[in-house]
Chain A
Amino acid sequence: MKSNSLAKQAFGVKVQIKNILDSSFSNKLIELGFITGQTIEVVFSAPFGDPIAIELNGSVLSLRLEEAATIEVENTNSL
């Protein structure tokens, strides 16, 4: 099982949230639905690779890479 940061995921791969690292905005991430166990997917990115767009429960949210880096995920296929 390898854990990894959401900032480094390929497009179109479903991943599961393992952990949200502490930050000044972690409470906000959680409020948006980034909670442990939630399945998410990076769907596309802005032209310079940052920010990225993430599908969560049918809606698309945008995160800067540095924000995404605080979300640890795990590939669902490797479960």
Chain B
Amino acid sequence: MLFEYAVVAGVLFGLFYAFLSIGLNLVFGVQRIVNLAHGDVIMIGGFASWELYYTYHISPLLSVVLVIPPTVLAGFIIYRLIDGPLSRAQDPEMLSLILFFGVSQILEALVTIFLGNNQRSIPDSSLVHGPVHFLGQSYPGVWWIVAGASIPMVGLVILYLYRTKLGTATRAIMADPIEAAAVGIDVRKVSAITFGVGLAITASVGAIAPFMIGGVDPSEGVNLTILAFAVIVIGSLGNIGGTVVGGLIFGVAFELAQLYLPSWSSLIPYVLLLAVLLFKPSGVLGKRVRSA
């Protein structure tokens, strides 16, 4: 019975992890930007959600949508600032790594200065009252709400990529940015939009992440970034569908480890990351090994 519990919990968390990581993969896929501030964007989404809940009594589920427009705007502005240096760089991946490491540090410091260093949480009762019973087991209701919210959000990103013209252009750039320019796609414009969308979906998951990770605090960014990297590397870097597979594998593996090897479970992201990099560097769904 415990095994079933771990698998169901793993799937619920897996859907959340897919939502948590998809923005990182989108941003990486298009411009090879390694966004080390990914977890900090989630953290800011979390604080926004906390603030909106306590000041304006806005449900965190609504905040999932509310944080999107300002983050898209912020994404455009950031993209304009970094686009020049990145397109001139000989090794844009490395430059983006350093740039966003700096952004990560700045965001963490700013939030600490203005909001203090304490962990904050939003009560589960803001989303749901009581547990959910499923197959004879009882689960926290928020897990189901968050997983349920993750499905349409991830689904929207996938629909956008596979069913809209802009999404098709985005995937063309992911496949080969130079050839995309050679067929007349405005690579800069589409990349800026994708960067904005990627950041927005990341802030968006932040609004409900506190229910799954126990709260929000200014220093949580690094761990969330590592977690998201593990998920997208497992699934396949640059493959958006792979993020869902990666999230589910990660979620179930983590819950099973918590059941059978609890003291080792926090190693799971690193172990899975290393295992994938050693044995299937292109990720579970990947066909080609990345050149870099």
Chains A and B belong together in one complex: no
Enumerate chain A interface residues (CB-CB to B < 8 A). none
Enumerate chain B interface residues (CB-CB to A < 8 A). none
